[in-house]
Structure 1
Amino acid sequence: MTVSASKKTEQWTISASQRVIVDPLLDSLVLLTEYFGSPCSSDSLAAGLPMQGHVLTPELLPQAASRAGLAAKLSRKGLNEITPILLPCILLLKDKKACLLRELDVEHDKAIIQLPETGGEETLSIEELEALYVGYLFLVKQEYRGDMGFDVHLHENKSHWLLQTLKDSAPIYRDALIASVLVNLFALVSPLFIMNVYDKVVPNLAFNSLWVLAIGAGIAYIFDLVMRQLRSYLIDVAGKKVDIIVSSQLFAKAVGIPLEKRSPSVGGMAKQLGEFDSIRDILTSATITTLVDLPFALFFLTIIYLVAGDLALIPLVGSFIIIAYTLIMQPKLKAAIEESNKFSGLKHGHLIESLSSLESIKSSGAEGLVQKSWQQMIGHTASWQLKSKKISTSVTNVATFVVQTSVIFVVILG
């Protein structure tokens, strides 16, 4: 009985690394990395990705492929549209399966696929493969890196993570800037309409011309409304895209940071990561349109000069005064904001660490010491925030004062 019982308890020994979930897309990508001469493990390709059910999804495959120096693109093609230059590629099959298409010979009715489950090859007929294929595939090639041996010292610096993300959204921002150009052009409608009415229509009582001008101005304002709505929508879309990508990158870097390089204050680190929301607010606001609005200021000054001559010098001088005052106050404002952010991070870190160590604080009777540190941090934060607000408010007030006085001088000299 003892011998038979021992035989029943004997089992195969399988290591933890071998007990893996079948992942057709990830396993196919691993096979492709071996094909292109840069073999990568499934763990290195999928580390930190928000996989669903521990399985790589089609949305995440391009991101995983980029880690191996590969560019992957989802495409919809029939088997007869796949040319030899596109091979090998990953075919999406029914029942959420995938395979690697190595060779395709339509004339001889033969297709060679590589199964991700075993890594082995299998030959199928076109009809058999067509019955499994869902019509979508991933085209995968090595990323273009140029001549790595030429002038390597001039290209050592990697592209900035935020600038590269903005570059990817450049087409959307381009369309938003085009809409801003049209909005600035439509801004000329109101002064031109008023000028023509008082100079031409009123002296001659030309009411027919008045209605023509009014209809034309109304049509222009309708287009202006459409362009403003379109510009706002495009900026929001681009900002959302940048926010998702940047937030994912920041969280991945925060999770993957070496422990010896981690900030001693968890709360301060969380506050710093949260401060990146301000970047999103800038990218999703109308502030981005100043790239177009500022050059148009010179255009409007030119129009004023053509219509009123030397009167254009008054708004020109006013603009220089505002710019000069802003540049003078900019270093002070920068220093105040930096100090405010520093103490705000310390305050946030102190709060998180105090709440997480509340039991230890109570047991050691350190409530008073913790409260004192909290009040000091609040005082410093409030002081620097007040200073930065005073500086920014002074810039706004000076700009308003210059505009008001410019109107007075225009009326006097005009």
Structure 2
Amino acid sequence: MLTSSGASKPNQRAIEQYEQQLAQNALGGFSAASDLAACLLPLLKSLGWKGDPRHVAESLPHFANDLDLTGIRNVLATLNYSSRPEKLSLETIDHRLLPCLFLPDGQPAMVVKAVDDEGHAEVFDSSEGASRSLDVRGLKGTAYFFTNQSADGSAPRPANWFKSVLERFRPLYWQAFFVTLILNVFSLSTPLFVMAVYDKVIGASSHSMLAALSIGVTVALVADAVLREVRARVLAFVGARLDNIMGNNIFQHILALPPGFTERATIGAQVARIKDFESVREF
């Protein structure tokens, strides 16, 4: 019979191995092919994340080596870290907000660990793959600050996980809203053109006015088509991301249910739990 101390030894060894891999900026078969992917493990180390290494592996997307900005923010969100961007000059950053992920204008991403009063910072430079001191005076870009949403950093999900997932795409929701508003205005161009032709062009026999109105309505129709394409791409991206993220979240929540909810339930009942979310996905 295993004691509690004996049972905790494998997990402790896994955590020690994970910490060694973090120190070497390596985790299993993960290798960084982009600057943001290179910043992932140093950022986790700087944030002091002490969770189960399995959660890191499960949070990575399929093509983890080529992480983009959305991917790395989703990985940190899965590990229970909320993020917010802010454009600033690195020398003016508040020390209390560090560490952070910094994307300099026209340069590779870096992890900023500390900044002193003289304008020198300790950073992890993704282009060199190592930590170094950097003069940040005049260096501008976008900083991403991460906040642990749980007192226990090993918690794989926040309690309001559905709301936190939706909050990630709030800027895209507003973009789709304003694009739809503009499209509704452009939809009036055709009836207004017809009214103007009957009221102004035919009565005055003005060919120059007809040409001006035709150019105007053509521009409006072209802009309408372009904006509809933009809106379709935004909605398709958000829909695909929500489908993927929510699917993974729901499956992990089902796996985390107490044994009584799964062992005593039939397969049909367990499948029905998953299908209950079909209406949410279709929405």
Return the offset for 1:165: 2.7
- Structure 2 counterparts to residues 87-126 of structure 1, below 5 A: 87=98
Residue 27 (structure 2) pairs with residue 16 (structure 1): no
What is the aligned partner in structure 2 of residue 132 from structure 1? 130
The answer as to whether partners of 1:186 and 1:224 remain within 8 angstroms in 2 is yes
Aligned-residue offset at 1:252? 0.9
- 1:43 maps to a residue whose letter is D
By how many angstroms is 1:266 displaced? 1.9
Deviation per CA, 1:242-301, whole angstroms, max 9, x where unpaired? 22221121011011111102372223432442453443333xxxxxxxxxxxxxxxxxxx
Structure 2 CA distance for partners of 1:224 and 1:173, relative to 1, 3 Å: same
Counterpart Cα distance in 2 of 1:256 and 1:139:
29
Gaps in structure 2 of 5+ consecutive residues: 1-8, 26-40, 103-110, 135-142, 152-157
1:117-161 superposed Cα distances (whole Å, 9 cap, x missing partner): xxxxxxxxx9xxx883289x996555599xxxxxxxxxxxx9854
Larger relative helix fraction: 1
Per the alignment, residue 396 of structure 1 pairs with: none
The verdict on how the C-alpha distance between 1:202 and 1:110 changes in structure 2, with shifts beyond 3 A counting, is: closer
Contact 2:115–2:121, Cα closer than 8 Å, also in 1: yes
- Matches of 1:131 and 1:48 in 2, distance apart? 21
Preserved contact between residue 90 and residue 100 of structure 1 (Cα < 8 Å): yes
1:30 to 1:255, Cα distance in 2 relative to 1, 3 A: farther
- Aligned mates of 2:44, 2:202 — CA distance in 1: 75
Q: Indicate the residue corresponding to 1:63 in structure 2.
A: 77
CA distance in 2, matches of 1:182, 1:74: 27
1:172-191 pair list within 5 angstroms: 172-191=172-191
**Alignment-mate amino acid for residue 264 of structure 1:** A
Task: Give the match for residue 194 of structure 2.
Answer: 194
| Contact 2:43/2:100 (<8 A) preserved | no
Q: Which stretch has the larger CA shift, 177-186 or 20-29? A: 20-29
After the TM superposition, which residues 183-222 of structure 1 pair with which residues of structure 2 at under 5 Å, given as runs? 183-222=183-222
- The reply to whether residue 279 of structure 1 matches residue 283 of structure 2 is no
Q: Between the two proteins, what is the percent identity of the paired residues?
A: 23
Which of 31, 43, 46 is the matching residue for 2:52?
43
Secondary structure, counterpart of 2:52 in structure 1:
helix
Closer/same/farther in 2, CA of residues 27 and 46 from structure 1, 3 Å limit: farther
Contact 1:65 1:71 in 2 (8 A): no
Task: Call closer, same or farther: CA 1:180–1:48 in 2, change over 3 Å.
Answer: same
C-alpha distance in 1, partners of 2:204/2:282? 52
Residue 42 of structure 1 aligns to a residue whose secondary structure is coil
Question: Relative to structure 1, is the Cα distance of residues 250 and 209 closer, same or farther in structure 2, using a 3 angstrom cutoff?
Answer: same
TM-score, length of structure 1 as denominator length:
0.40
Measure the CA separation in 1 of the matches of 2:271 and 2:55. Answer: 25
TM-score, scaled to structure 2: 0.56
The structure whose RCO (Cα within 8 Å, separation 6+) is larger is 2
Q: Which amino acid aligns with 1:227?
A: L
Distance 2:129 2:256 in 1: 43
The residue correspondences of 1:264-343 to structure 2 (distance < 5 A) are: 264-274=265-275, 276-282=277-283
- Distance in structure 2 (CA, Å) of the matches to 1:184 and 1:256: 46
Task: State the match for 1:299 in structure 2.
Answer: none
1:74 and 1:200 map into 2 onto residues whose CA distance is 52
The residue type paired with residue 229 of structure 1 is E
Q: In the aligned structure 2, how far is the partner of 1:138 from the partner of 1:223?
A: 34
- Residue equivalent to 2:165: 165
Tell me: CA distance 1:193–1:242, structure 2 relative to 1, closer, same or farther (3 Å): same
Structure-2 separation of matches of 1:167 and 1:45: 25
- Report SS of the residue matched to 2:76: helix
| Aligned alpha-carbon RMSD (Å) | 5.0
Aligned length: 219
Amino acid at match of 1:133: S
